[in-house]
Structure 1
């Protein structure tokens, strides 16, 4: 059995990815076609491991390829290999898509909760309203007949003091006195502070 002997790097048939990116930075579309062919598979593979959704993976891969075309002038060979730079762009873009999807899902969840949550507790509101009505009725029963008639006509039927006086055939001053005294008794009965 013969031992394999390492004789050094195998010469490539064309420019390496780093040189191609430099040409892409100058707007060379043919160089970009070669970069595309070299990076498309690895970028799609990386993006699919992050996203797991084939359709979104293809979409993000397309976005990464466009970003490589637009940002090729930013590539700095001193900071790492061209493939690492491209895969870093791809990873960042895929993670951004995951975060965006999670944020969107969280917003939709919050919106759904708001749609289902009533602006106020309807049952509590109804019970409180019923209790308040009953308390008002009870307090109205403590008024004299003349006070109760005056309060009911003025505040529940919406008549003016003058209209109440005409309807009951009593002087306006008498209606005002009945209303004042009746409202004071109602206030005290309901426990409302002045």
Structure 2
């Protein structure tokens, strides 16, 4: 059995116009026709499935609420533009939060760990060079670096709960 032909921009424009009138079936068809490419884009930008799912949820709520103001000639491009904007905004917020947590965690490290990280990150020195500069053994520098990186990684790990994206069934609350 062959897959149905993809919907054209004209088809999607019609679905968007019906969505603007509150037609949940048209919205479900619009979602089905555009969600795969939107999800792929969000996942590419965010490099993770859970944040991408949250972005899609935001995007399709926006589509439902603002279908009347959409660029009706290019609905697929409009959905992808919304996806791109939402994903970039989430990525920037996540990056800023991770940086703030990392800076805070630097203060929680030992002086030796802070020195090793500063020399490696800001100074660009190798572990061998750091050992020579600090008088530590290479194994001590490696241990300090590993401990510091483990602390930073644990502190910046984003803890999220999964978000399920149910398929629209014709009833939108």
Number of the residue aligned with 1:89: 82
Distance, in Å, in 2 between the alignment partners of 1:76 and 1:84 is 9
Report which of the two has the higher share of helix: 1
**1:106 shift after superposition:** 1.4
Max radius of gyration: which structure? 1
**Equivalent residue, structure 1, for 2:105:** 112
Structure 2 gap ranges (5+)? 112-173
How far residue 115 of structure 1 moved from its aligned partner, in angstroms, is 4.8
Whether 1:103 aligns to 2:96 is: yes
* Pairs aligned (count): 105
1:17 counterpart (12, 16, 30)? 12
Q: Residue by residue, what CA displacement relative to the aligned partner does 1:164-193 show, whole Å, maximum 9, x if unpaired?
A: xxxxxxxxxxxxxxxxxxxxxxxxxxxxxx
Q: State the superposition RMSD in angstroms.
A: 2.6
CA distance in 1, matches of 2:95, 2:88: 11
* Runs of at least 5 residues in structure 1 that lack an aligned partner in the other structure: 1-9, 119-194
Q: Deviations over 1:89-139 (max 9, x none)?
A: 001111111101101111212322355599xxxxxxxxxxxxxxxxxxxxx
User: Residues 1-44 of structure 1, C-alpha deviation per residue, up to 9 Å, x if partnerless?
Assistant: xxxxxxxxx9x79x711111111112111111111111111111
Q: Which has the higher contact order (CA 8 A, sep 6+)?
A: 2
Match of 2:52 in 1: 57
Structure-to-structure mapping, 1:22-171, within 5 angstroms? 22-77=17-72, 80-115=73-108
Measure the CA separation in 2 of the matches of 1:70 and 1:51.
24
